[in-house]
């Protein structure tokens, strides 16, 4: 019977009576999102904006604010952070920090990224903002800046709190911000096993994909009785990094299998193509300038996310000024690179002047005329 049904389905597809669409990934979760890092494009989603409890995946935002503080110079990885009684008493997933102990920011990042330490999160929050409540205000402010419209944070750990919610899409947004602008976070999120307290305390990563999925780069697990099993998983292959968010899986294994299915679906179906001219760009002549030409360059590096079938159909065309008159400003647009896929324009990237070309002064024009005149009569 199954063979008969399969045969009929095949005949219908061949006859064009049914759409030949690739099946989506098989996932067992309340909500999922698959996003590409560079472009931010969503490749797959189910219930992407449903408000759900994120459990410890909340800590992606905590990690983001810590990494931003490092970039700003507010702290260094060697900064020693004290542990308060409040931080030491957090419970839940922890590394059993004691009141009065001090840990470096480096060790705090390990504790949060690898062991999901609630105590480390609160200690860092108190150090950076004075209190967890003040830190949570910063978390919500940053969420608004990132366009996380489905999110309300009530703590920095993800411990159950009524009204502490986000969505799969919002988690993808903050995960992208973290890995795109702070790639050094991989130093911590790719650790499988490590230690604290000079080897006295063992750490094992709660994200099993780090060991068992080729190309895994992070990022954060979470689970509570009410949130069920959650995960923001990142992985990179062939220069493309994907973010797979899974919320509300019934078991721990289900969340990892769902993330693997999402990642496999993305890597099998899409690739990043770098937009570039098909041949080198020639200098553009400049009249009345201190130099006779200016080199056009792309205003920005650009990559396009395409299905594997489209990647071979990319072509480019150029529109460039034939000549320019000085003055020419550095960064002045002098043309456009048009990127087409199967004849349809997908992106237009400005070409700009690589350097400034000042206009000749009257004296410089006179000197140039004299030089041309006398050189022209020289034997």
Other CB atoms within a 10 A radius of the CB of residue 121 amount to: 31
Nearest to 38 by CA among 299, 242, 235: 242
Tell me which of 30, 37, 59, 110 is the catalytic residue. 59
Nearest to 191 by CA among 216, 214, 171, 223: 216
Instruction: Say how many CA atoms lie within 13 Å of 250 toward its Cβ.
Output: 2
Largest CA distance in the chain: 97
Known catalytic membership, residue 59? yes
DSSP secondary structure of 305-338: EEETTTGGGEEEEEEE-S-EES-B-TT-EEEEEE
Known catalytic membership, residue 56? yes
- As a whole number of angstroms, the distance between CA 151 and CA 373 comes to 73
In three-state secondary structure terms, 99 is coil
Tell me which of 93, 113, 116, 249 is the catalytic residue. 116
> Is-contact 17 231, C-beta < 8 A?
no
Tell me which of 30, 37, 56, 232 is the catalytic residue. 56
Asked if the bond preceding 49 is cis, omega within 30° of 0, the reply is no
Backbone angles phi, psi at 217, to 5 degrees: -120, -5
Q: Give the alpha-carbon dihedral of 73, 77, 78, 79, to 10 degrees.
A: 60
Q: Between vectors from CA 332 to CA 327 and to CA 334, what angle results, nearest 5°?
A: 100
Known catalytic membership, residue 116? yes
- As a whole number of angstroms, the distance between CA 53 and CA 32 comes to 13
> Is-contact 158 164, C-beta < 8 A?
yes
Residues making up the chain, counted from first to last: 379
- As a whole number of angstroms, the distance between CA 175 and CA 219 comes to 8
> Is-contact 202 193, C-beta < 8 A?
yes
Other CB atoms within a 10 A radius of the CB of residue 20 amount to: 8
Q: Which two tokens stand for residue 158?
A: 């993800």
List, by residue number, the catalytic residues. 56, 59, 116
């Amino acid at each position: 019977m199954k063979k008969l049904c399969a045969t009929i389905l095949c005949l219908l597809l061949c006859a064009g009576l049914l759409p030949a669409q690739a099946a989506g990934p098989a996932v067992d979760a309340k909500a999922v999102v698959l996003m590409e890092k560079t472009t931010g494009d969503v490749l797959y989603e189910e219930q992407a904006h449903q408000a759900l409890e994120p459990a410890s995946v909340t800590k992606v935002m905590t990690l983001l604010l810590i990494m931003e503080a490092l970039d700003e110079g507010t702290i260094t990885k060697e900064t020693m952070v004290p542990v308060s009684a409040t931080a030491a008493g957090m419970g839940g997933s922890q590394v059993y920090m004691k009141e009065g102990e001090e840990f470096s920011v480096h060790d705090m990042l390990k504790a949060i990224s690898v062991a999901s330490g609630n105590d480390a999160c609160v200690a860092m929050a108190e150090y950076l903002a004075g209190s967890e409540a003040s830190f949570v205000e910063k978390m919500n402010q940053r969420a608004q800046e990132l366009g996380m419209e489905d999110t309300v944070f009530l703590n920095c750990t993800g411990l159950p709190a009524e009204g502490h919610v986000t969505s799969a899409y919002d988690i993808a947004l903050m995960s992208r911000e973290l890995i795109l602008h702070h790639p050094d976070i991989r130093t911590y999120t790719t650790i499988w096993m490590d230690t604290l307290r000079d080897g006295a305390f063992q750490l094992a990563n709660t994200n099993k994909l780090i060991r068992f999925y080729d190309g895994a780069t992070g990022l954060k697990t979470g689970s509570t009785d009410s949130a069920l099993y959650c995960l923001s998983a990142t992985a990179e292959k062939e220069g493309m990094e994907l973010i797979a968010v899974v919320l509300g899986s019934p078991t721990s294994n289900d969340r990892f299998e769902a993330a693997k299915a999402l990642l496999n679906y993305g890597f099998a179906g899409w690739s990043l193509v770098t937009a570039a001219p098909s041949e080198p760009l020639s200098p553009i002549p400049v009249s009345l300038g201190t130099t006779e030409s200016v080199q056009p360059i792309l205003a920005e590096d650009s990559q396009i996310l395409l299905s594997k079938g489209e990647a071979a159909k990319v072509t480019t065309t150029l529109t460039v000024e034939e000549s320019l008159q000085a003055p020419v400003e550095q960064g002045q647009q002098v043309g456009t690179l048009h990127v087409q896929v199967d004849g349809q324009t997908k992106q237009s990237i400005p070409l700009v002047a690589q350097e400034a070309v000042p206009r000749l002064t009257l004296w410089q024009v006179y000197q140039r005329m004299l030089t041309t005149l006398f050189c022209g009569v020289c034997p």
